[in-house]
Structure 1
C-alpha cells in the first residue's frame, strides 16, 4: 500500500471511529438534561436547580427538545437567541444562554465531547443598557411614597429604595435581625417550585449589616413596638408578612403596582428599586467600595452593572490630570 492510499485508509478508519463515538454519546437534549439535573440535585442549591429546571422547560426544551446535543450548531444557537429577543429581556436571554451552556460543560467533563456551540457563539451583547434598568429619581420615589397609607408598606418601600435590599433579603428579615440602627442580612427568601423557602445567601458578600436611615428607623421602631404588643410575638417572627410567614412575592409586586398607579409614576420592577438606590449613591459621589459593601456585591459587580451611570467619570479623570499637570507647566 503506497503512502497516499495508506493515509487515506487511516483517515477513513479515524472518521469511522469518531462517528461511532459520536453516535454513542450523541444524546437527545431532554435525556441528557435529565441526567444533568440528577447530578445538580446533589451538587447545587435546591433554588438553583429549580431555577435551571424552570428555564429549561420554558425556554430551552420548546426549541431543542428534538435535537441531539452534538448536532446543535452555532447557527442553531444564534437563531435561538434571535427568537428569544423578540419577547424576552436581554438579561433573561443571557441567563437562558448560561444555563444551557452549563449543561454542555458538564457533558464535556463526563464524555470528553469537546463541543459547546454556546461558547463558540458567546452570550448576546447588550446594545442598550437602559432597556433593562429603570431608575426612579428621588422625586419619583417620594411621589410614590406620598400615596402609601399603610405603615408596613411604607417600611417595605423605604427599605427597598434607601436600603438597597434584594427582594428575597427584605422578606427574609426577622426581628432578631433588627440590631440597634442596623438590619442584618444572613438569609434570603426564594421561590422554589411555587413555594417560598428561607435559605442562606448565595455569596459571602451578601452577609452584611445595613445601616438604616433615621426616617426608616423611626417607622421600624414603631412597627416593632406594635409587633411586640401581640401575645404571639417572637424574635424569630418575620418583619414583613404574617409573623411566621414572609409576605408572598406576588403580594409585594401587586402592592407596588397599586401605589404606582395611584401616584402616576413610571412602572419599575422591585429589583429596579435596588438599582435606583445605587444610582442615588453614585449620583451623590459615594465611593464604589462603600456601595458594594452596602448592597452585598463585589466592587467588580458594581462597576460592571452600574458603569453606565457614570457618564462623566472619564471627563472628571481627564480634568483632574489636566489640573495636576498644569501646576508644573
Structure 2
C-alpha cells in the first residue's frame, strides 16, 4: 500500500528535499514551491502544488520515485479529480493514490483524530477506466510511484461548490473565514501553512440559542473552556506539522459574542490552526480574520519550539 508505506516512513514523496518540507519542521512555502500553471499541464516535477483547474498529465521516465500532486481550492470548494486515463504496471510495484486531504511528513490534514482515515485513501494500478473522486474539504493529494518508463496517467481537476465546508487549508496571505459544525458532532479546523495573526470577529460556540441576535444573552468570549470541561470549544494554536494532537494551544475559547473586542493572537509557528470541537448539542460557529505574519518585530502570543 503506497500511502500506508509513506505514512510509516514519514516521506513526503521524493527522496530528495521537497520545497514543501524543510528540516526541523513541516513548513510549507507555496510562494517558492513549484505551482501548476494554467498553460502548463505536464507533470515534470516530483512535487507539484496545483492551484488551477484543468488537465494534468504524467508520463514516467522510469525513475520510480514516490511523488505527489498537491491540489488546493478555495475554502468553500471541494476538489474533484477524474482519472481520464491510467496505465501503471502493478507487477513493477507501480501504484497511484487519491488522498482526501494533504499529507506532509507522515502527518495528515485533516488529522485522523478529526476525520478517520477510512474511506479517504483510494489506491490502484493497472489500467483504469474513468473514475472520479471528490474531497470532503478544499485539499486533495495524488501520490504516485510509476517505475515503468512510459507508464502514466491523466487527471482532470475541477473545483466544485462545497455547501458545508468543515476543514479548510489556507494559503492566502489574509482573509476572513467561518467555521460551522451545522449542528453536527464533528470537529472542524482552519490551518494556515505559515505563521499567522488570528482575530475573532464573531463567536457562538457552546451556547444554546446562539443564533438569537440579542446582546442581553451574550456571554462574551470565555477563556480556558477546554479546562473548564466544556464539550464545545475552539482551540487557538500552532505547530510544526499538521497533526492536531501535537498542537500547542494558546487558549481554548467558547461563548457568545457578536462583536468581540479582543487583541489578535500572533502565532509564530510553522503552521497556525484554529480547531473547533463540537459535541453536536449546540450549533457552533466562529468567524476569523487571519493574516500572515511578515513583521519580524511582532510580539508573539505563542511561539512554537523548533525541533532540533
Structure 2-normalised TM-score?
0.31
Q: Going by fraction, where is helix more abundant, 1 or 2? A: 1
Q: Flag the structure with larger Rg.
A: 1
